[in-house]
Structure 1
Amino acid sequence: MWAAMSPLLASGYRRGDAREETGALEQVCIAAAMLAPALAAIIVVRCVERSGRVRDVLALRWPKPWGRAVRASLTAFAVPAGLTTASLVIGTFAGSYPFSGVHWNGLGAWAAGAALNMLLSLPLFFGEELGWQGYLFPRLAQVGDRRSLIRAYAVTGAAFALWHLPTLLMGGQYPGRPWYVSVPAMLVSCILILPVFTWLRLRSGSVVPAVIGHAFVSSVSVDMVKRFADPKAALDPLHMGMAGWPGWIATGTFVAFLTLTGRLQPSFYTAQTTSHLASARGL
Protein backbone atom coordinates (compact mmCIF):
# COMPACT_ATOMS: atom_id res chain seq x y z
CA MET A 1 0.00 0.00 0.00
CA TRP A 2 2.77 2.44 0.92
CA ALA A 3 4.75 1.54 -2.21
CA ALA A 4 1.70 1.99 -4.44
CA MET A 5 0.88 5.35 -2.87
CA SER A 6 4.49 6.63 -2.86
CA PRO A 7 4.09 8.77 -6.04
CA LEU A 8 1.19 10.66 -4.46
CA LEU A 9 2.90 10.95 -1.09
CA ALA A 10 6.08 12.26 -2.75
CA SER A 11 4.14 14.84 -4.73
CA GLY A 12 2.41 16.17 -1.61
CA TYR A 13 -1.05 15.30 -2.91
CA ARG A 14 -3.98 16.06 -0.60
CA ARG A 15 -7.68 15.64 -1.24
CA GLY A 16 -9.40 18.78 -0.06
CA ASP A 17 -13.05 18.21 -0.93
CA ALA A 18 -15.44 15.25 -0.91
CA ARG A 19 -16.73 16.17 -4.36
CA GLU A 20 -13.24 16.19 -5.86
CA GLU A 21 -12.75 13.66 -8.65
CA THR A 22 -9.64 11.46 -8.75
CA GLY A 23 -7.15 12.06 -11.52
CA ALA A 24 -5.37 9.50 -13.69
CA LEU A 25 -2.33 9.15 -11.42
CA GLU A 26 -4.54 8.75 -8.35
CA GLN A 27 -6.56 6.03 -10.07
CA VAL A 28 -3.44 4.10 -11.08
CA CYS A 29 -2.01 4.27 -7.55
CA ILE A 30 -5.31 3.19 -5.99
CA ALA A 31 -5.65 0.26 -8.42
CA ALA A 32 -2.13 -0.95 -7.65
CA ALA A 33 -2.72 -0.63 -3.91
CA MET A 34 -6.01 -2.56 -4.01
CA LEU A 35 -4.34 -5.57 -5.62
CA ALA A 36 -1.75 -5.87 -2.84
CA PRO A 37 -3.81 -7.91 -0.29
CA ALA A 38 -4.75 -10.50 -2.92
CA LEU A 39 -1.16 -10.72 -4.14
CA ALA A 40 0.04 -11.29 -0.57
CA ALA A 41 -2.61 -13.96 0.06
CA ILE A 42 -1.83 -15.84 -3.17
CA ILE A 43 1.93 -15.80 -2.52
CA VAL A 44 1.47 -17.13 1.01
CA VAL A 45 -0.96 -19.88 -0.06
CA ARG A 46 1.17 -21.04 -2.98
CA CYS A 47 4.72 -20.53 -1.70
CA VAL A 48 4.55 -20.67 2.10
CA GLU A 49 1.58 -22.76 3.23
CA ARG A 50 1.22 -24.87 0.08
CA SER A 51 -2.22 -25.69 1.44
CA GLY A 52 -4.10 -26.46 -1.78
CA ARG A 53 -5.57 -24.74 -4.80
CA VAL A 54 -5.76 -20.99 -4.45
CA ARG A 55 -9.38 -20.92 -5.60
CA ASP A 56 -10.43 -23.41 -2.93
CA VAL A 57 -8.34 -22.00 -0.08
CA LEU A 58 -9.47 -18.40 -0.69
CA ALA A 59 -13.11 -19.33 -1.53
CA LEU A 60 -12.67 -17.81 -4.98
CA ARG A 61 -15.73 -19.48 -6.48
CA TRP A 62 -19.36 -18.77 -7.26
CA PRO A 63 -21.95 -20.14 -4.81
CA LYS A 64 -23.75 -23.22 -6.20
CA PRO A 65 -26.32 -23.85 -7.54
CA TRP A 66 -26.74 -20.81 -9.78
CA GLY A 67 -29.97 -19.78 -8.11
CA ARG A 68 -28.09 -19.46 -4.84
CA ALA A 69 -25.39 -17.42 -6.58
CA VAL A 70 -27.99 -14.99 -7.93
CA ARG A 71 -29.65 -14.61 -4.50
CA ALA A 72 -26.29 -14.09 -2.80
CA SER A 73 -25.29 -11.45 -5.35
CA LEU A 74 -28.60 -9.59 -5.04
CA THR A 75 -28.30 -9.67 -1.24
CA ALA A 76 -24.77 -8.28 -1.49
CA PHE A 77 -26.21 -5.41 -3.52
CA ALA A 78 -29.42 -4.83 -1.57
CA VAL A 79 -28.05 -4.83 2.00
CA PRO A 80 -25.44 -2.06 1.47
CA ALA A 81 -28.08 -0.12 -0.50
CA GLY A 82 -30.44 -0.38 2.46
CA LEU A 83 -27.76 0.59 4.97
CA THR A 84 -26.76 3.60 2.85
CA THR A 85 -30.38 4.71 2.56
CA ALA A 86 -30.82 4.34 6.33
CA SER A 87 -27.69 6.41 6.98
CA LEU A 88 -28.94 9.19 4.69
CA VAL A 89 -32.33 9.18 6.42
CA ILE A 90 -30.66 9.38 9.85
CA GLY A 91 -28.39 12.19 8.68
CA THR A 92 -31.29 14.09 7.14
CA PHE A 93 -33.41 13.99 10.30
CA ALA A 94 -30.38 14.90 12.41
CA GLY A 95 -29.63 17.87 10.17
CA SER A 96 -26.16 16.68 9.19
CA TYR A 97 -27.00 15.64 5.64
CA PRO A 98 -28.20 18.34 3.16
CA PHE A 99 -30.87 16.20 1.50
CA SER A 100 -32.28 17.90 -1.61
CA GLY A 101 -35.04 15.43 -2.39
CA VAL A 102 -35.39 12.62 -4.91
CA HIS A 103 -35.15 14.06 -8.42
CA TRP A 104 -36.74 11.41 -10.62
CA ASN A 105 -35.57 13.02 -13.84
CA GLY A 106 -32.40 11.20 -14.81
CA LEU A 107 -32.48 8.91 -11.76
CA GLY A 108 -32.65 5.75 -13.87
CA ALA A 109 -29.69 6.77 -16.02
CA TRP A 110 -27.69 7.65 -12.90
CA ALA A 111 -28.50 4.30 -11.24
CA ALA A 112 -27.54 2.37 -14.38
CA GLY A 113 -24.27 4.30 -14.68
CA ALA A 114 -23.43 3.79 -11.01
CA ALA A 115 -24.13 0.04 -11.27
CA LEU A 116 -22.01 -0.25 -14.42
CA ASN A 117 -19.09 1.59 -12.80
CA MET A 118 -19.36 -0.73 -9.81
CA LEU A 119 -19.26 -3.82 -12.04
CA LEU A 120 -16.22 -2.50 -13.91
CA SER A 121 -14.41 -1.93 -10.61
CA LEU A 122 -15.11 -5.43 -9.22
CA PRO A 123 -11.67 -6.86 -10.16
CA LEU A 124 -10.02 -4.28 -7.90
CA PHE A 125 -12.22 -5.26 -4.96
CA PHE A 126 -11.26 -8.91 -5.44
CA GLY A 127 -7.79 -7.53 -4.76
CA GLU A 128 -8.85 -6.48 -1.28
CA GLU A 129 -11.33 -9.16 -0.27
CA LEU A 130 -9.13 -12.11 -1.23
CA GLY A 131 -6.85 -10.75 1.47
CA TRP A 132 -9.43 -9.94 4.15
CA GLN A 133 -12.27 -12.46 3.66
CA GLY A 134 -10.40 -15.03 1.59
CA TYR A 135 -7.32 -15.33 3.77
CA LEU A 136 -7.03 -13.29 6.97
CA PHE A 137 -10.41 -13.68 8.67
CA PRO A 138 -10.70 -17.49 8.19
CA ARG A 139 -7.19 -17.98 9.61
CA LEU A 140 -7.94 -15.90 12.70
CA ALA A 141 -11.35 -17.51 13.28
CA GLN A 142 -10.36 -21.15 12.71
CA VAL A 143 -10.04 -22.00 16.43
CA GLY A 144 -13.80 -21.60 16.67
CA ASP A 145 -14.29 -20.41 20.26
CA ARG A 146 -16.04 -17.13 21.06
CA ARG A 147 -12.87 -15.31 22.07
CA SER A 148 -11.01 -16.19 18.89
CA LEU A 149 -14.02 -15.19 16.80
CA ILE A 150 -14.22 -11.75 18.43
CA ARG A 151 -10.48 -11.36 17.94
CA ALA A 152 -10.82 -12.34 14.28
CA TYR A 153 -13.42 -9.64 13.65
CA ALA A 154 -11.48 -6.99 15.59
CA VAL A 155 -8.05 -7.74 14.12
CA THR A 156 -9.28 -8.13 10.54
CA GLY A 157 -11.30 -4.91 10.83
CA ALA A 158 -8.31 -3.04 12.26
CA ALA A 159 -6.01 -4.39 9.52
CA PHE A 160 -8.60 -3.42 6.92
CA ALA A 161 -8.72 0.13 8.34
CA LEU A 162 -5.00 0.70 8.93
CA TRP A 163 -4.19 -0.60 5.46
CA HIS A 164 -5.81 2.68 4.31
CA LEU A 165 -3.38 4.78 6.38
CA PRO A 166 -1.51 6.33 3.41
CA THR A 167 -4.77 7.52 1.83
CA LEU A 168 -6.07 8.75 5.19
CA LEU A 169 -2.94 10.90 5.60
CA MET A 170 -3.72 12.45 2.21
CA GLY A 171 -7.36 13.18 3.10
CA GLY A 172 -8.71 10.37 0.94
CA GLN A 173 -11.72 9.17 2.93
CA TYR A 174 -12.13 12.23 5.18
CA PRO A 175 -10.91 15.28 3.24
CA GLY A 176 -9.99 18.24 5.39
CA ARG A 177 -9.72 16.17 8.57
CA PRO A 178 -6.42 15.67 10.46
CA TRP A 179 -5.07 12.13 10.86
CA TYR A 180 -6.03 11.93 14.53
CA VAL A 181 -9.68 12.30 13.46
CA SER A 182 -9.67 10.35 10.20
CA VAL A 183 -7.75 7.30 11.47
CA PRO A 184 -10.08 6.56 14.43
CA ALA A 185 -13.10 7.25 12.20
CA MET A 186 -11.82 4.75 9.65
CA LEU A 187 -11.22 2.18 12.40
CA VAL A 188 -14.82 2.50 13.55
CA SER A 189 -16.15 2.31 9.97
CA CYS A 190 -14.14 -0.77 9.02
CA ILE A 191 -14.70 -2.68 12.26
CA LEU A 192 -18.46 -2.13 11.83
CA ILE A 193 -18.72 -2.91 8.11
CA LEU A 194 -16.39 -5.91 8.15
CA PRO A 195 -18.95 -8.22 9.86
CA VAL A 196 -21.42 -7.38 7.07
CA PHE A 197 -18.92 -8.47 4.41
CA THR A 198 -18.05 -11.54 6.50
CA TRP A 199 -21.73 -12.44 6.81
CA LEU A 200 -22.07 -12.24 3.00
CA ARG A 201 -19.05 -14.52 2.67
CA LEU A 202 -20.15 -17.04 5.33
CA ARG A 203 -23.76 -17.44 4.15
CA SER A 204 -22.66 -18.07 0.56
CA GLY A 205 -19.44 -20.01 1.13
CA SER A 206 -17.83 -17.69 -1.40
CA VAL A 207 -15.79 -14.50 -1.32
CA VAL A 208 -17.68 -13.12 -4.35
CA PRO A 209 -20.67 -11.61 -2.44
CA ALA A 210 -18.24 -9.88 -0.05
CA VAL A 211 -16.52 -8.38 -3.10
CA ILE A 212 -19.85 -7.12 -4.45
CA GLY A 213 -20.82 -5.63 -1.07
CA HIS A 214 -17.45 -3.92 -0.69
CA ALA A 215 -17.64 -2.53 -4.22
CA PHE A 216 -21.10 -1.10 -3.53
CA VAL A 217 -20.02 0.60 -0.30
CA SER A 218 -16.94 2.15 -1.89
CA SER A 219 -18.59 3.28 -5.13
CA VAL A 220 -22.39 3.39 -5.39
CA SER A 221 -22.85 4.33 -1.73
CA VAL A 222 -20.50 7.31 -2.14
CA ASP A 223 -22.35 8.33 -5.32
CA MET A 224 -25.68 8.15 -3.46
CA VAL A 225 -24.43 10.69 -0.93
CA LYS A 226 -23.55 13.10 -3.73
CA ARG A 227 -26.65 12.38 -5.84
CA PHE A 228 -29.23 13.20 -3.18
CA ALA A 229 -27.40 16.11 -1.53
CA ASP A 230 -27.87 19.80 -2.21
CA PRO A 231 -25.35 20.43 -5.03
CA LYS A 232 -24.25 23.69 -3.39
CA ALA A 233 -23.73 22.22 0.10
CA ALA A 234 -20.38 21.11 1.46
CA LEU A 235 -20.11 17.36 2.05
CA ASP A 236 -18.41 16.06 5.18
CA PRO A 237 -18.10 12.24 5.14
CA LEU A 238 -17.69 12.23 8.91
CA HIS A 239 -21.31 13.36 9.27
CA MET A 240 -23.04 11.57 6.39
CA GLY A 241 -23.13 8.31 4.52
CA MET A 242 -21.64 4.95 5.46
CA ALA A 243 -18.29 6.44 6.51
CA GLY A 244 -19.86 8.84 9.01
CA TRP A 245 -21.68 8.49 12.30
CA PRO A 246 -25.13 8.03 10.66
CA GLY A 247 -23.70 5.04 8.82
CA TRP A 248 -22.18 3.74 12.05
CA ILE A 249 -25.64 3.75 13.63
CA ALA A 250 -27.27 1.97 10.68
CA THR A 251 -24.47 -0.58 10.28
CA GLY A 252 -24.09 -1.12 14.03
CA THR A 253 -27.80 -1.90 14.33
CA PHE A 254 -27.61 -4.45 11.51
CA VAL A 255 -24.47 -6.04 12.95
CA ALA A 256 -26.19 -6.28 16.35
CA PHE A 257 -29.04 -8.18 14.65
CA LEU A 258 -26.56 -10.54 12.95
CA THR A 259 -24.81 -11.11 16.26
CA LEU A 260 -27.95 -11.78 18.28
CA THR A 261 -29.23 -14.27 15.69
CA GLY A 262 -25.89 -16.13 15.53
CA ARG A 263 -25.28 -15.27 11.87
CA LEU A 264 -21.72 -14.07 12.46
CA GLN A 265 -20.57 -17.47 13.68
CA PRO A 266 -19.14 -19.81 11.03
CA SER A 267 -20.68 -22.76 12.91
CA PHE A 268 -24.16 -21.35 12.18
CA TYR A 269 -23.65 -22.04 8.46
CA THR A 270 -21.86 -25.34 9.03
CA ALA A 271 -24.91 -26.60 10.92
CA GLN A 272 -27.23 -25.36 8.15
CA THR A 273 -25.17 -27.12 5.47
CA THR A 274 -25.14 -30.38 7.43
CA SER A 275 -28.91 -30.19 7.93
CA HIS A 276 -29.56 -29.53 4.23
CA LEU A 277 -27.33 -32.43 3.17
CA ALA A 278 -29.07 -34.75 5.61
CA SER A 279 -32.48 -33.69 4.29
CA ALA A 280 -31.36 -34.19 0.70
CA ARG A 281 -30.19 -37.74 1.55
CA GLY A 282 -33.38 -38.54 3.44
CA LEU A 283 -31.62 -38.94 6.79
Structure 2
Amino acid sequence: MDLKRYPVALYLALVVLLSTPYYVLLARSGSMDMGRGFVVHSLMWAPGIAGLLSAWLRHRSVAMLGLGWGRTRYVAAGYVLPILYSLLAYVPLWLSGLAPAAFGEFARDCATRLHWQNAGLLAPALLQIFLTLTFGAIQSAASAAGEEIGWRGYLVPALREKYGMGATVLLSGLIWAAWHMPVIFFADYHSAAPQAYAVACFTLMVLITGGIAAWLRLRSGSVWPAIALHAVHNAFIQWLLDPMTDASGNGAWYAGEFGVALVIAAGIAAASLFTRSPRPASPSFPDLLTP
Protein backbone atom coordinates (compact mmCIF):
# COMPACT_ATOMS: atom_id res chain seq x y z
CA MET A 1 0.00 0.00 0.00
CA ASP A 2 1.23 3.47 -0.91
CA LEU A 3 1.05 5.13 2.52
CA LYS A 4 1.11 8.63 1.09
CA ARG A 5 -1.71 7.86 -1.32
CA TYR A 6 -4.03 6.04 1.07
CA PRO A 7 -3.55 7.68 4.49
CA VAL A 8 -7.19 7.26 5.56
CA ALA A 9 -7.41 3.61 4.49
CA LEU A 10 -4.22 2.86 6.43
CA TYR A 11 -5.60 4.57 9.51
CA LEU A 12 -9.01 2.87 9.39
CA ALA A 13 -7.42 -0.55 8.93
CA LEU A 14 -5.35 0.02 12.07
CA VAL A 15 -8.39 1.28 14.00
CA VAL A 16 -10.34 -1.87 13.15
CA LEU A 17 -7.38 -4.11 13.98
CA LEU A 18 -6.76 -2.47 17.36
CA SER A 19 -10.43 -2.07 18.33
CA THR A 20 -11.68 -5.57 17.52
CA PRO A 21 -10.26 -7.42 20.59
CA TYR A 22 -11.99 -4.92 22.91
CA TYR A 23 -15.25 -5.17 20.97
CA VAL A 24 -15.15 -8.95 21.45
CA LEU A 25 -14.55 -8.62 25.18
CA LEU A 26 -17.34 -6.08 25.64
CA ALA A 27 -19.77 -8.08 23.52
CA ARG A 28 -19.05 -11.22 25.56
CA SER A 29 -19.70 -9.43 28.84
CA GLY A 30 -22.43 -7.11 27.56
CA SER A 31 -21.25 -4.49 30.05
CA MET A 32 -19.35 -1.23 29.65
CA ASP A 33 -18.21 -1.69 33.26
CA MET A 34 -16.23 -4.80 32.38
CA GLY A 35 -12.92 -4.79 34.26
CA ARG A 36 -14.01 -1.69 36.24
CA GLY A 37 -14.33 0.12 32.93
CA PHE A 38 -10.71 -0.48 31.95
CA VAL A 39 -11.71 -2.42 28.83
CA VAL A 40 -13.77 0.38 27.32
CA HIS A 41 -11.16 2.98 28.29
CA SER A 42 -8.52 0.86 26.58
CA LEU A 43 -10.79 0.69 23.52
CA MET A 44 -10.89 4.49 23.51
CA TRP A 45 -7.13 4.49 22.94
CA ALA A 46 -7.35 2.31 19.81
CA PRO A 47 -8.00 5.34 17.50
CA GLY A 48 -5.16 7.27 19.14
CA ILE A 49 -2.62 4.47 18.81
CA ALA A 50 -3.73 3.99 15.21
CA GLY A 51 -3.18 7.71 14.62
CA LEU A 52 0.29 7.64 16.14
CA LEU A 53 1.26 4.61 14.05
CA SER A 54 -0.23 6.07 10.86
CA ALA A 55 1.53 9.40 11.30
CA TRP A 56 4.86 7.69 11.98
CA LEU A 57 4.55 5.28 9.06
CA ARG A 58 3.63 8.11 6.74
CA HIS A 59 5.93 10.89 7.94
CA ARG A 60 8.40 9.33 10.35
CA SER A 61 7.04 12.03 12.64
CA VAL A 62 3.93 12.67 14.75
CA ALA A 63 4.00 16.44 14.18
CA MET A 64 0.81 16.33 12.07
CA LEU A 65 -1.21 15.19 15.10
CA GLY A 66 -1.15 18.67 16.65
CA LEU A 67 0.14 17.53 20.04
CA GLY A 68 1.40 21.01 20.92
CA TRP A 69 -0.77 22.99 23.34
CA GLY A 70 -1.54 25.84 20.94
CA ARG A 71 -3.54 28.86 22.07
CA THR A 72 -5.13 28.53 25.49
CA ARG A 73 -8.29 30.32 24.37
CA TYR A 74 -9.15 27.43 22.07
CA VAL A 75 -8.59 24.90 24.85
CA ALA A 76 -10.80 27.05 27.08
CA ALA A 77 -13.45 27.08 24.35
CA GLY A 78 -13.26 23.29 24.21
CA TYR A 79 -13.87 23.18 27.96
CA VAL A 80 -16.74 25.67 28.06
CA LEU A 81 -18.71 24.74 24.93
CA PRO A 82 -19.98 21.31 26.12
CA ILE A 83 -21.11 22.85 29.41
CA LEU A 84 -23.09 25.49 27.52
CA TYR A 85 -24.76 23.22 24.98
CA SER A 86 -25.46 20.55 27.62
CA LEU A 87 -27.21 23.06 29.88
CA LEU A 88 -29.10 24.36 26.85
CA ALA A 89 -30.37 20.82 26.36
CA TYR A 90 -31.11 19.77 29.94
CA VAL A 91 -32.48 22.89 31.61
CA PRO A 92 -35.51 23.10 29.28
CA LEU A 93 -36.15 19.38 29.84
CA TRP A 94 -36.16 19.91 33.62
CA LEU A 95 -38.39 22.98 33.43
CA SER A 96 -40.85 21.44 30.99
CA GLY A 97 -41.01 18.08 32.72
CA LEU A 98 -40.16 16.20 29.52
CA ALA A 99 -37.28 14.68 31.47
CA PRO A 100 -37.86 15.79 35.08
CA ALA A 101 -35.04 16.85 37.38
CA ALA A 102 -33.91 14.34 40.00
CA PHE A 103 -31.85 16.72 42.10
CA GLY A 104 -32.83 15.09 45.38
CA GLU A 105 -31.68 11.65 44.34
CA PHE A 106 -28.48 13.10 42.91
CA ALA A 107 -27.73 15.01 46.12
CA ARG A 108 -28.42 11.99 48.32
CA ASP A 109 -26.14 9.85 46.18
CA CYS A 110 -23.41 12.51 46.43
CA ALA A 111 -23.74 12.59 50.22
CA THR A 112 -23.43 8.80 50.38
CA ARG A 113 -20.45 8.62 48.06
CA LEU A 114 -18.65 11.45 49.85
CA HIS A 115 -19.51 10.04 53.31
CA TRP A 116 -20.95 13.44 54.21
CA GLN A 117 -24.50 12.62 55.26
CA ASN A 118 -24.49 14.95 58.28
CA ALA A 119 -23.97 18.15 56.23
CA GLY A 120 -27.32 18.28 54.48
CA LEU A 121 -27.59 17.70 50.75
CA LEU A 122 -26.48 20.94 49.11
CA ALA A 123 -22.84 20.90 50.25
CA PRO A 124 -22.10 17.34 49.05
CA ALA A 125 -23.81 18.02 45.72
CA LEU A 126 -21.81 21.21 45.14
CA LEU A 127 -18.58 19.45 46.09
CA GLN A 128 -19.34 16.63 43.66
CA ILE A 129 -19.98 19.13 40.87
CA PHE A 130 -16.71 20.91 41.64
CA LEU A 131 -14.72 17.66 41.72
CA THR A 132 -16.25 16.46 38.45
CA LEU A 133 -15.49 19.69 36.59
CA THR A 134 -11.90 19.77 37.85
CA PHE A 135 -10.22 16.43 38.54
CA GLY A 136 -13.08 14.57 36.88
CA ALA A 137 -12.45 16.43 33.62
CA ILE A 138 -8.74 15.54 33.85
CA GLN A 139 -9.57 11.89 34.48
CA SER A 140 -12.00 11.93 31.56
CA ALA A 141 -9.32 13.51 29.36
CA ALA A 142 -7.04 10.51 29.94
CA SER A 143 -9.47 8.42 27.88
CA ALA A 144 -10.79 11.15 25.58
CA ALA A 145 -7.22 11.90 24.45
CA GLY A 146 -7.00 8.40 23.00
CA GLU A 147 -9.94 9.02 20.71
CA GLU A 148 -9.08 12.60 19.84
CA ILE A 149 -5.45 11.95 18.89
CA GLY A 150 -6.92 9.58 16.33
CA TRP A 151 -10.14 11.19 15.14
CA ARG A 152 -9.19 14.85 15.24
CA GLY A 153 -5.39 14.53 15.48
CA TYR A 154 -4.94 12.30 12.45
CA LEU A 155 -8.20 11.60 10.60
CA VAL A 156 -9.54 15.16 10.29
CA PRO A 157 -6.28 16.62 8.85
CA ALA A 158 -5.88 13.58 6.56
CA LEU A 159 -9.38 14.11 5.19
CA ARG A 160 -8.88 17.88 4.99
CA GLU A 161 -5.94 17.35 2.62
CA LYS A 162 -8.39 16.05 0.00
CA TYR A 163 -11.84 17.37 0.91
CA GLY A 164 -13.51 20.61 1.91
CA MET A 165 -14.56 21.38 5.45
CA GLY A 166 -18.11 20.08 5.04
CA ALA A 167 -17.04 16.71 3.66
CA THR A 168 -14.32 16.43 6.28
CA VAL A 169 -16.81 16.98 9.10
CA LEU A 170 -19.36 14.60 7.57
CA LEU A 171 -16.94 11.76 6.83
CA SER A 172 -15.03 11.98 10.12
CA GLY A 173 -18.31 12.18 12.05
CA LEU A 174 -19.83 9.16 10.30
CA ILE A 175 -16.65 7.14 10.91
CA TRP A 176 -16.65 8.18 14.58
CA ALA A 177 -20.31 7.20 14.94
CA ALA A 178 -19.76 3.86 13.19
CA TRP A 179 -16.90 3.06 15.57
CA HIS A 180 -19.37 3.29 18.49
CA MET A 181 -21.95 0.93 16.98
CA PRO A 182 -20.54 -2.39 18.25
CA VAL A 183 -20.85 -1.25 21.88
CA ILE A 184 -24.30 0.19 21.21
CA PHE A 185 -25.64 -3.00 19.61
CA PHE A 186 -23.71 -5.64 21.56
CA ALA A 187 -23.05 -4.04 24.96
CA ASP A 188 -25.08 -1.78 27.24
CA TYR A 189 -24.21 1.63 25.80
CA HIS A 190 -27.77 2.67 24.93
CA SER A 191 -30.93 4.16 26.41
CA ALA A 192 -34.52 3.11 27.06
CA ALA A 193 -35.69 4.81 23.85
CA PRO A 194 -36.43 2.65 20.77
CA GLN A 195 -33.12 1.52 19.31
CA ALA A 196 -33.52 2.96 15.80
CA TYR A 197 -34.50 6.35 17.21
CA ALA A 198 -31.71 6.30 19.81
CA VAL A 199 -29.07 5.39 17.20
CA ALA A 200 -30.30 8.16 14.89
CA CYS A 201 -30.10 10.76 17.69
CA PHE A 202 -26.68 9.51 18.78
CA THR A 203 -25.34 9.63 15.22
CA LEU A 204 -26.58 13.19 14.70
CA MET A 205 -25.14 14.26 18.07
CA VAL A 206 -21.77 12.72 17.18
CA LEU A 207 -21.77 14.39 13.75
CA ILE A 208 -22.46 17.78 15.30
CA THR A 209 -20.08 17.58 18.27
CA GLY A 210 -17.47 16.03 15.99
CA GLY A 211 -17.90 19.02 13.70
CA ILE A 212 -17.26 21.38 16.63
CA ALA A 213 -14.18 19.38 17.60
CA ALA A 214 -12.92 19.44 13.99
CA TRP A 215 -13.43 23.22 13.82
CA LEU A 216 -11.43 23.68 17.02
CA ARG A 217 -8.71 21.33 15.78
CA LEU A 218 -8.22 22.98 12.43
CA ARG A 219 -8.67 26.50 13.73
CA SER A 220 -6.12 26.07 16.51
CA GLY A 221 -3.68 23.62 14.89
CA SER A 222 -3.81 21.67 18.16
CA VAL A 223 -5.67 18.55 19.24
CA TRP A 224 -5.97 19.75 22.86
CA PRO A 225 -9.15 21.83 22.35
CA ALA A 226 -10.85 18.72 20.94
CA ILE A 227 -9.59 16.67 23.90
CA ALA A 228 -11.00 19.26 26.30
CA LEU A 229 -14.37 19.25 24.53
CA HIS A 230 -14.63 15.45 24.50
CA ALA A 231 -13.51 15.10 28.12
CA VAL A 232 -15.89 17.72 29.52
CA HIS A 233 -18.77 16.48 27.36
CA ASN A 234 -18.40 12.97 28.80
CA ALA A 235 -17.82 14.08 32.40
CA PHE A 236 -20.50 16.77 32.54
CA ILE A 237 -23.24 14.76 30.85
CA GLN A 238 -22.55 11.23 32.04
CA TRP A 239 -21.42 12.00 35.61
CA LEU A 240 -23.56 15.05 36.44
CA LEU A 241 -26.49 15.87 34.17
CA ASP A 242 -27.68 12.31 33.54
CA PRO A 243 -27.73 11.47 37.28
CA MET A 244 -29.64 14.74 37.86
CA THR A 245 -32.31 13.69 35.35
CA ASP A 246 -35.16 11.20 35.43
CA ALA A 247 -34.90 9.70 31.94
CA SER A 248 -37.24 6.82 32.60
CA GLY A 249 -40.21 6.35 30.31
CA ASN A 250 -40.60 9.11 27.72
CA GLY A 251 -37.66 11.03 29.19
CA ALA A 252 -35.29 8.73 27.30
CA TRP A 253 -36.59 10.22 24.05
CA TYR A 254 -35.23 13.62 25.03
CA ALA A 255 -32.36 13.35 27.53
CA GLY A 256 -28.89 11.88 27.29
CA GLU A 257 -26.63 11.14 24.36
CA PHE A 258 -29.41 9.11 22.73
CA GLY A 259 -32.08 11.80 23.04
CA VAL A 260 -33.04 14.65 20.75
CA ALA A 261 -32.33 17.56 23.13
CA LEU A 262 -28.55 17.32 22.81
CA VAL A 263 -28.87 17.15 19.02
CA ILE A 264 -30.76 20.44 18.99
CA ALA A 265 -28.58 22.19 21.57
CA ALA A 266 -25.28 21.07 20.04
CA GLY A 267 -26.64 22.03 16.63
CA ILE A 268 -27.27 25.57 17.86
CA ALA A 269 -23.72 25.75 19.23
CA ALA A 270 -22.23 24.40 15.99
CA ALA A 271 -24.28 26.78 13.83
CA SER A 272 -23.05 29.71 15.91
CA LEU A 273 -19.46 28.54 15.60
CA PHE A 274 -19.57 27.75 11.90
CA THR A 275 -21.38 30.98 11.08
CA ARG A 276 -18.57 32.89 12.71
CA SER A 277 -15.90 31.10 10.67
CA PRO A 278 -17.23 28.39 8.33
CA ARG A 279 -13.82 27.56 6.84
CA PRO A 280 -10.98 27.39 9.37
CA ALA A 281 -7.62 28.40 8.03
CA SER A 282 -5.32 25.58 6.92
CA PRO A 283 -3.45 24.08 9.88
CA SER A 284 -0.01 25.50 10.39
CA PHE A 285 1.95 22.26 10.98
CA PRO A 286 4.23 21.58 8.01
CA ASP A 287 3.89 17.78 7.84
CA LEU A 288 0.21 17.97 6.85
CA LEU A 289 0.69 18.77 3.17
CA THR A 290 4.36 17.89 2.71
CA PRO A 291 5.11 14.34 3.85
So what's the TM-score if we normalise by structure 1? Answer: 0.78
Alignment-mate amino acid for residue 61 of structure 2: R
Note the residue ranges of structure 2 that are not aligned, 5 or more in a row.
Answer: 1-18, 108-121, 285-291
1:60 matched to 2:67? The reply is yes
Task: Report the CA distance between 1:60 and its aligned residue.
Answer: 0.8
Task: Report the CA distance between 1:29 and its aligned residue.
Answer: 1.6
| In 2: Cα distance, 1:254 partner to 1:221 partner | 16
Alpha-carbon contact 1:126-1:211 (below 8 Å) kept: yes
How many percent of aligned residue pairs carry the same amino acid? 23
1:234 matched to 2:248? The reply is yes
1:138 matched to 2:132? The reply is no
**CA displacement, residues 6-49 of structure 1 (integer Å, 9 cap, x when unaligned):** 123124x25xxxxxxx53526122022111111111111112x1
Alpha-carbon contact 1:200-1:210 (below 8 Å) kept: yes
Task: Report the CA distance between 1:188 and its aligned residue.
Answer: 0.9
1:28 matched to 2:38? The reply is yes
**CA displacement, residues 116-163 of structure 1 (integer Å, 9 cap, x when unaligned):** 12212312211101111111111112246xxx3211111100011110
What is the 5 A alignment of 1:56-205?
Answer: 56-63=63-70, 68-69=71-72, 71-100=73-102, 104-115=122-133, 116-143=135-162, 148-170=164-186, 172-177=188-193, 179-205=195-221
Judged with a 3 Å threshold, the aligned counterparts in structure 2 of structure 1 residues 176 and 107 are, in CA distance, closer, same or farther, namely closer
Which residue is 2:113 aligned to? none
Alpha-carbon contact 2:26-2:40 (below 8 Å) kept: no
Alpha-carbon contact 2:157-2:218 (below 8 Å) kept: no
So what's the TM-score if we normalise by structure 2? Answer: 0.76
Out of 262, 265, 272, the position equivalent to 1:257 is: 272
Judged with a 3 Å threshold, the aligned counterparts in structure 2 of structure 1 residues 107 and 74 are, in CA distance, closer, same or farther, namely farther
| In 1: Cα distance, 2:176 partner to 2:199 partner | 12
Judged with a 3 Å threshold, the aligned counterparts in structure 2 of structure 1 residues 137 and 59 are, in CA distance, closer, same or farther, namely same
Judged with a 3 Å threshold, the aligned counterparts in structure 2 of structure 1 residues 60 and 130 are, in CA distance, closer, same or farther, namely same
Out of 27, 41, 51, the position equivalent to 1:41 is: 51
SS of 1:164's equivalent in the other structure is helix
Alignment-mate amino acid for residue 25 of structure 2: P
Judged with a 3 Å threshold, the aligned counterparts in structure 2 of structure 1 residues 218 and 188 are, in CA distance, closer, same or farther, namely same
| In 2: Cα distance, 1:113 partner to 1:218 partner | 14
Judged with a 3 Å threshold, the aligned counterparts in structure 2 of structure 1 residues 255 and 265 are, in CA distance, closer, same or farther, namely same
| In 1: Cα distance, 2:271 partner to 2:204 partner | 15
| In 1: Cα distance, 2:178 partner to 2:192 partner | 19
Which residue is 1:3 aligned to? 21
Alpha-carbon contact 2:103-2:244 (below 8 Å) kept: yes
Note the residue ranges of structure 1 that are not aligned, 5 or more in a row.
Answer: 15-21, 271-283
Judged with a 3 Å threshold, the aligned counterparts in structure 2 of structure 1 residues 256 and 72 are, in CA distance, closer, same or farther, namely closer
Deviates more, 1:206-215 or 1:252-261: 252-261
